[in-house]
Amino acid sequence: MISSVLKTTPQRIPTLIARAMATDAAHRPPLSMHGLHARYANATYTAASKADILPKVEMELNTIQSVASKSTQFQAFLDNPLISRNNKEKGIQDMMGGGKVSHVTLNLMCTLAGNARLPLTSKIVDTYSELMKAKRGEVEATITSADPLTKAQLDTVAVAMKTQVGAGKKVVLSTQVDPTILGGLQIQIGDKFLDLSVGSKINDLSRTVM
């Protein structure tokens, strides 16, 4: 490898560097996220992208998180600081090795075990999910209404939201009911919040009168 680089003509070196940088950029996480859990999620995303198994790793991580939420025994295994790192890594190998999950997911979980970071698993999974949503151009939106919305109302709101998030973005819509808002809607799109509820207008009117 080194000898082949040394034999490369000076004219070709800039081209090779540009190709290497383009390859790295292609596998770079689509969001800039920070924190220890984000570092693990970012590294996992890059590894999965290079292996062309991003959706597979997402499914595997979601499954691990789901099992932990339903199994107190598995969650205790992840969280218990009294279990040695070696025993945790062996436990991960026993549960997930032998082709049960991809090498990327197995490497992440074994690394977490070896670094005593398994309690971060859920946060890492959530962060990886955020990266995947960004890659797919998905924007999460939550509609809160006093009464359940009809399909026609929901379709109208969905169309209006698509015009707000921009071209190439996909709105992933969820709804919830909160009778305390009295009427109207509360809309959460990403980190933006719009309060169009009757309750909010009444509060504004009260402040004005006072």
Tens of pLDDT, residue by residue, the chain (210 residues): 434 434 445 555 555 555 555 557 788 888 888 899 999 999 999 999 999 999 999 999 999 999 999 999 999 999 999 999 999 999 999 999 999 999 999 999 999 999 999 999 999 999 999 899 888 887 777 888 888 888 887 787 777 777 766 666 677 777 888 888 777 777 777 667 777 665 554 444 334 434
Residue partners of 165: CB distance under 8 A and separation at least 6: 139, 141, 171, 189
Q: Tell which of 88, 109, 133 closes a domain.
A: 133
Residue 143 inside a domain? The answer is yes
Does residue 79 sit in the same domain as residue 173? no
Q: How many domains does the chain have?
A: 2
Threshold 0.85, pTM exceeds: no
**Cβ–Cβ < 8 Å for 184, 196:** yes
Residue 196 inside a domain? The answer is yes
Does residue 113 sit in the same domain as residue 158? no
Does residue 53 sit in the same domain as residue 110? yes
Q: Which residue intervals of the chain are DSSP H helices?
A: 2-6, 13-26, 36-50, 54-70, 72-79, 85-96, 103-114, 121-135, 151-165, 198-209
Q: Tell which of 103, 133, 163 closes a domain.
A: 133
Does residue 129 sit in the same domain as residue 95? yes
Q: Tell which of 97, 117, 133 closes a domain.
A: 133
* Enclosing domain of residue 157: 137-209
Residue 83 inside a domain? The answer is yes
Hunting for tokens 């081209």 — which residue is that? 15
